[in-house]
């Protein structure tokens, strides 16, 4: 039986972007409804809970680190490129400290202090501020003064993302936002003037007999599905059947709709069309990242950009000694300096080396890796290390031997190793300009290798997500119409839309963009409907 509801703003998707949009609109006095394909949280709740922020946050000051709008801007220009205009990037940097304070006002806890002395892709619970991108690596460090900008939400282990979302959920519902979970929007409603006026959806009522089993299976397959999707394929199919058996039609009227339903990494047809080179990566996010929100925008007259941009994460560290090896392709050529952020390194490997590569180590470095495990890693990282240190590596007495065991060109690898070691010993430095502190000469065997290819092993996947989406007006968040102007009453935010991180990804930049773009869309939608903007610090 179909139900109909009346609201001012309807938000599709309840991750960081959807929550930010809902809170901002409701703070202005608008009646807000959020619908989500799952139980809320999206990719944010499965993430490490990192928010990229700088320009002098309280947390940076607490650790004794100086940062400015100019320094943050100089760095992000290199990462962001033409994804957004200079004006938008400046605004993002200027508003960064206030964004952190806004999160705190929603109950999110953050902590400043010293960062780890070693480079890591994700810190231990001793640190909640760190260098989460390429700030200290060549060539970025040549153009901008580095500062730690990875603000990790205070929570143990890998629960920071879930904790971040739960604070946003509570803040949204405390201010009167209504939420319908297990709801899939399949159509946008237009009024007689062509303005978006609501959504049609199908939802599984929480009182239905299938919900208990559906919820249990969803919890069991959440993070496991990110790292080992093949392992939970059958269970995911079961949850789909449970939903389909009990879902009923619904309709929600609203004078504005915000699309915040995530990217499309789970849409294999779109991946094949827009990013075929990335078909071997492990989809990162939830089943809701299937492009549904983008598709709704396209059906309403919107247009897309950056659809071929995908981030692929080949993290080497921690332990930090993993960065002291050399990464090479099948011809033995160096991929790039290993101290780059994992997604930056992975992007080069995927685009220029066909997604194939190996990391090569000598005996002293391999021992150092083992010695650093306890102090530098979280539990989830140790599980991968267990694989890498047992059956996930190969060993040979010589460089030529390790090349032959992996199918790497022996002469090519020998040239790469010699050029690197000669540079270190002579004082000229690493030809790839890796941080000198991560550059011991590679001389003493036996030698070890790890296959870092996209399809190397189900136990060592390259996770990734899509970065492109709907084109939006950068001042308002309104979805741009393919024939010019905007689609009236329709907004896009987060990975549904082109944003700050649509060219290049570093840890925390997507969540920061979700908050930035979600607040922008929610505030403008409410303002256009005649509601007074909430008092803001930025």
Q: What is the mean pLDDT of each run of 10 residues along the chain (538 residues)?
A: 78 98 98 96 95 98 97 98 98 98 98 92 95 97 97 95 98 98 97 96 92 84 63 77 91 97 96 95 90 98 98 94 97 98 96 96 96 89 90 97 98 98 96 96 96 91 95 98 98 98 97 98 97 64
Per-residue confidence (pLDDT) for residue 532, from 0 to 100? 83
Tell me the C-alpha distance between 455 and 281, whole Å: 7
Residue 374 makes CB contacts below 8 A (sequence gap 6+) with none
Tell me the C-alpha distance between 30 and 529, whole Å: 8
What is the helix (H) or strand (E) element at residue 252, kind and residue range? Answer: strand 248-253
Residue 85 makes CB contacts below 8 A (sequence gap 6+) with 474
Per-residue confidence (pLDDT) for residue 224, from 0 to 100? 62
Per-residue confidence (pLDDT) for residue 1, from 0 to 100? 37
Residue 331, CA distances (Å) to 335, 441, 450, 457 in order? 10, 21, 16, 21
Per-residue confidence (pLDDT) for residue 412, from 0 to 100? 98
Structure tokens at 78: 């290199």
Cβ pair 312, 464 in contact under 8 A: yes
Tell me the C-alpha distance between 333 and 430, whole Å: 14
Distance of CA 408 to the CA centre of its chain: 32
Per-residue confidence (pLDDT) for residue 130, from 0 to 100? 97
Per-residue confidence (pLDDT) for residue 538, from 0 to 100? 46
Per-residue confidence (pLDDT) for residue 235, from 0 to 100? 75
Structure tokens at 65: 């680190």
Per-residue confidence (pLDDT) for residue 6, from 0 to 100? 93
């Amino acid at each position: 039986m179909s139900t109909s509801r009346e609201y001012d703003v309807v938000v599709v998707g309840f991750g960081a972007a959807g929550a930010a949009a809902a809170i901002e609109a409701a703070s202005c006095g608008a009646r807000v409804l959020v619908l989500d394909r799952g139980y809320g949280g999206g990719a944010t709740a499965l993430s490490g809970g990192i928010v990229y922020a700088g320009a002098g946050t309280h947390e940076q000051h607490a650790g004794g680190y100086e940062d400015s709008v100019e320094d943050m801007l100089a760095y992000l220009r290199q990462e962001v490129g033409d994804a957004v205009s200079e004006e938008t990037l400046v605004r993002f940097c200027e508003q960064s400290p206030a964004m952190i304070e806004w999160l705190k006002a929603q109950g999110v806890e953050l902590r400043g202090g010293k960062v780890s002395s070693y480079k890591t892709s994700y810190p231990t619970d001793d640190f909640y501020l760190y260098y989460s991108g390429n700030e200290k690596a060549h060539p970025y460090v040549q153009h901008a003064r580095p500062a730690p900008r990875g603000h990790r939400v205070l929570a143990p282990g890998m629960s920071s993302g879930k904790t971040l979302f739960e604070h946003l959920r509570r803040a949204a519902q405390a201010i009167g936002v209504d939420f319908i979970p297990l709801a899939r929007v399949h159509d946008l409603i237009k009024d007689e003037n062509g303005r978006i006026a609501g959504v049609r959806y199908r939802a599984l009522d929480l009182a239905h007999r299938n919900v208990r089993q559906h919820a249990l299976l969803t919890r069991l397959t959440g993070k496991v599905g990110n790292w080992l999707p093949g392992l939970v394929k059958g269970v995911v199919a079961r949850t789909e059947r449970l939903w389909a058996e009990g879902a009923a039609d619904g309709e929600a009227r609203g004078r504005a709709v915000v699309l915040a339903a995530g990217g499309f990494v789970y849409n294999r047809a779109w991946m094949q069309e827009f990013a075929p080179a990335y078909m071997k990566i492990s989809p990162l996010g939830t089943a809701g990242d299937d492009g549904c929100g983008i598709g709704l925008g396209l059906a309403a007259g919107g247009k897309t950009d950056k659809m071929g941009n995908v981030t692929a994460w080949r993290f080497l560290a921690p332990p930090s000694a993993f960065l002291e090896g050399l990464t090479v392709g099948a011809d033995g050529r160096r991929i790039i300096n290993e101290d780059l952020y994992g997604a930056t390194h992975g992007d080069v490997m995927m685009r220029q080396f066909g997604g194939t590569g190996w990391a090569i180590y000598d005996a002293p470095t391999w021992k150092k890796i083992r010695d650093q495990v306890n102090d530098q890693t979280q539990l989830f990282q140790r599980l991968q290390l267990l694989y890498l240190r047992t059956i996930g590596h190969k060993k040979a007495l010589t460089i030529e031997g390790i090349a032959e065991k992996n199918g790497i060109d022996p002469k090519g690898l020998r040239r790469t190793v010699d050029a690197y070691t000669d540079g270190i010993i002579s004082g000229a430095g690493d030809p790839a300009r890796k941080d000198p502190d991560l550059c011991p000469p590679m001389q003493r065997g036996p030698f070890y290798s790890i296959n870092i290819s996209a399809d190397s092993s189900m136990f060592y996947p390259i996770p990734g997500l899509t970065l492109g989406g709907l084109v939006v007006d950068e001042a308002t968040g309104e979805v741009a119409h393919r024939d010019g102007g905007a689609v009236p009453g329709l907004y896009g935010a987060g990975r549904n839309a082109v944003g700050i991180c649509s060219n290049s990804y570093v840890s925390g930049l997507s969540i920061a963009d979700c908050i930035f773009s979600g607040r922008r869309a929610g505030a403008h939608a409410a303002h256009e409907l005649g509601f007074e903007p909430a008092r803001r610090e930025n």
